[in-house]
Amino acid sequence: MIVVIPDVLSVAEARRCVEKLEKADWREGRYTAGPLAARVKDNLQLADDDPLATEIGVLLLERLAVMSRFVAAALPLKVVPPRFNLYASDASYGDHIDSAVFGVPDTSIRIRADMSATLFLSDPDEYDGGELTVMGEFAPHQVKLPAGHMVLYSSGAVHHVEPVTRGARFAAFFWIQSLVRENDRRSMLLELDDTIQALAADTPDNPAVARLTGLYHNLLRDWAVT
């Protein structure tokens, strides 16, 4: 399941984030990867405890908490604090799968990665390359979104970032532990939710709306793990 969440940030908000990140203290990204991923990771990354990462990360999580599309798609239980990366000068990240479990810095909290998120902060016109390519069951999906837009995808999917051959690509990325662990079940619940919303908008008094809503919550009750 690949889901685009538009307008997490406005264009102006994304631009202000980039202006701050352009002055940040960037480090080699490969040092934050496991031994296998480090072989194919060639980018820059902010330290997890960088005050700027905390500042922008809090803004993103506050915004996402009230975005119905994000909540419907991810059904978030726990979220790893957002991290930030920079691709420039032919930087890339080869094929890899995200780690299964992440720790939250300075805590004993462990979060299972069910869904991965990339929020694009740079406008596509500002750089060449840099597409996020997620391998699907039948074909790869290339993603390059407007500034402020975010994509969600399964953390178990093989994916990579194409080399950036011009300009700079700034982005936030993080992982979500969902109430519903199985990707296919999350997909079905999202499709059911979309159907309910469309039916309610078209015929709000249709008794099927209540029945379908009940079905949705009973499925979520059966499948959710808290």
The reply, when asked if residue 15 is annotated as ligand binding, is no
The reply, when asked if residue 42 is annotated as ligand binding, is no
Whose tokens are 């016109």? That residue is 125
The reply, when asked if residue 169 is annotated as ligand binding, is yes
- Distance (Å, rounded) from C-alpha 63 to C-alpha 57? 10
Percent helix, strand and coil across the chain, each to the nearest 5: 35, 30, 35
The reply, when asked if residue 123 is annotated as ligand binding, is no
Q: Alpha-carbon dihedral of residues 34, 155, 80, 103, nearest 10 degrees?
A: -40
Asked if 40 and 93 touch (Cβ cutoff 8 Å), the reply is yes
In order of 49, 73, 95, 122, 143, the CA distances from 147 in angstroms are 24, 20, 24, 5, 12
**Intra-chain end-to-end CA distance of the chain, in Å:** 22
Name, in order, each residue with C-beta under 8 angstroms of 221's C-beta and a sequence gap of 6 or more. Answer: none
Edge-to-edge strands of the sheet including 140-143? 41-42, 92-96, 159-161, 132-135, 140-143
Q: Annotated binding site for 2-oxoglutarate: which residue ranges?
A: 169
Q: Annotated binding site: which residue ranges?
A: 96, 98, 159, 169
Q: Annotated binding site for Fe cation: which residue ranges?
A: 96, 98, 159
